[in-house]
Each structure stands twice: as C-alpha cells, then as structure tokens.
Amino acid sequence: MIMKVLFALLATFMVLSVHSQIVTPAPSPFCKIEQKLGLGTVTIEYSRPSMKNRTIFGDLVPYGKLWRTGANRSTVITFSENVKIEGKDLAKGSYSLYTIPGEKSWDIIFYNQTNIGGTPDPYEPSKEVVKVQAMPEMLTTSVETFTIDLNNIKMNSGTLYLMWENTAVGVSITTDVETSVMKNIDKVLAGPSSDDYYLAARYYLDSGKDLNKALPWIQKATSMDPKYWKIRVESLILGKLGKIDEAIAAAEKSKALAIEDHNDDYVKMNNDYITELKLNKPK
C-alpha cells in the first residue's frame, strides 16, 4: 500500500514538474540574418538588447572596453567566401564580432574563436584576424533595439552596420566577384570538360541507354584526358556495341596505364574483360 502511495506521489510530482515550466519572452531575443553578398553569403547570429530608457554608449556599454557587440553569447559572423574588411583580407569562415566603442572611433574586431559565452577570458590578441577602425555617426532618430544590418549592397560590396541608441557604425565588406565570374565564364564557354563527357557516357552505359550516343562522348573524354578508368568505360561501350577489336585495344591501353599507376584492381578488371572479349569474339 505504501509503495502504491509513493508511486502515485512520484507520478503527480512528475506531471507538475512538466507543467510548471514557465516560458517568457527573452529580454534580449536571438536573431539570425543571412544576406547574399557577391557570390557568397554572410550570416550573422546575435542577441538584441533594448535601451529600456537607459543610456547606452559611455554608460551601459563603456567607452574603451571590449564589448560582445550584442547580448548573451558572442555575436558570430560567418562568410561563405573570402572577403575584405576595409581592404583587409579575411578568409571565409566564422568569427566572433567584438568591438571597442569610443566617442570618436570604434575598433571592429573579427576574432578567431566562436564558442565563447560573452567576451574571452583571457583575451588573446593573436586571435584577432582582422581589426579595423570605424567612425561613429550620429543618427537623427533613436534605435531602441540593437541592430546589425548589411546595407548598401552592390555587385561586390556592402556595408556592415551596427546601430543602437543614436549611434551607427559602418565598415565596408568587399568580395572578389570578378575573378570567380570570369573563371566560370571561361569554363562554360570553353565547352564541356573531359569529366562532363565521361559522366554522361558512364550514365548512358549504366542506364542501358543508346550507346551510339555515348561512344563519341567517351572518346572525347579519353582524347582530352586519357585516364585508365575513362578508357575502361570506352572499352566497355565498344564491347557492348560489338566493336571487339577496338574494345580489346582500349582495354589493353587502360591496363597499361593502370599498371603505371599501381592500381591492381583495374589491371585485373581489364585482364578479365580482355579474356571475355577474346572468348566471345566471332570466329
């Protein structure tokens, strides 16, 4: 009887525990924004405190001291492509965004560690990947909730803005769009690559499609880049099309290249296929 009462009390306690969790709005809610910039993406994750009738810069956020640039955990900014911050190179990746606010200038710091619950302790200057100065601007209207934004978006650039109270600070971000676009243009206009022809022919072979179409593709691939695995596919297609002598010649070539590369698997596959072709060759 006592055990039944204990189990009943335990069950009641568990139910009350589940239903006693009170959920309230976060005082500094989390925000995540993503912005395409050039050919890449900039992602910013941060928490947004509000003024709440407080004086911010020079008081709540002191001048001359490292600030997490938001609330709660460190603000994290991620670049999917290499960029320049005010002309300084910053490799693609994720960084904590720290600032040192000042009355006349701010330090903007991209710090090479992101798993930090606020500001690093100790702070390691060696982890400052990029550090630049920016001039604060006075706003004509007040910003109640701390805001990070990417604006002035152009083909290869934008401005990262930090805005709160009556202050805005901006730093330029640029990305090398032209080099990437020109490489892509050259590649596309040059036509399909050897790998493109190989993959198309291999798909036709594996899917049982028209090998008369696949044959010129694989021959184009092997003429551009004569790798033994590509030449093996050529020999398989030739064999299925009944071109036995050509298939044997291609298999022999594939085998020789595989021997040079010390790939015993391809040597064996070609040997087995050559034997099969010779056995089934019409007399």
Decide yes or no: CATH 1.25.40.10 for domain 192-280: yes
Torsion of CA 62, 68, 73, 74, to 10 degrees: 180
Over the chain (283 residues), what is each successive 10-residue block's mean pLDDT? Answer: 53 52 88 96 97 96 97 96 97 98 97 92 96 97 97 96 98 93 87 94 96 97 97 97 96 97 97 94 79
CA distances for 271 relative to 131, 205, 239, 246, 264, angstroms:
62, 20, 14, 15, 10
CB 256 within 8 A of CB 250: no
* pLDDT confidence of residue 108: 98
Going by the DSSP 8-state scheme, the letter that residue 115 receives in this structure is: -
Which residues, at least 6 apart from 78, have a Cβ–Cβ distance to it below 8 Å?
42, 43, 44, 45, 93, 94, 95
CB 251 within 8 A of CB 274: yes
* pLDDT confidence of residue 19: 54
Dist. CA 194–CA 58, nearest whole Å = 63
Dist. CA 52–CA 144, nearest whole Å = 8
* pLDDT confidence of residue 23: 85
SS3 content of the chain, % helix, strand, coil (to 5): 40, 30, 30
Digit-coded pLDDT (tens) for 131-144 = 999 999 999 999 99
* pLDDT confidence of residue 158: 97
Which residues, at least 6 apart from 102, have a Cβ–Cβ distance to it below 8 Å?
63, 64, 136
Dist. CA 208–CA 11, nearest whole Å = 63
* pLDDT confidence of residue 227: 97
Domain layout of the chain by residue ranges: 25-178, 192-280
Q: How many CB atoms lie within 10 A of CB 126?
A: 6
* pLDDT confidence of residue 104: 95
Amino acid identity, position 91: A
* pLDDT confidence of residue 282: 81
DSSP annotation string for 133-155: EE--EEEEEEEEEEEEEEES--S
Strand, helix or coil for residue 95: strand
* pLDDT confidence of residue 184: 84
With vertex at residue 119, the alpha carbon angle to CA 113 and CA 123, rounded to the nearest 5 degrees, is 70
Decide the pairing of beta strands 157-174 and 83-85: antiparallel
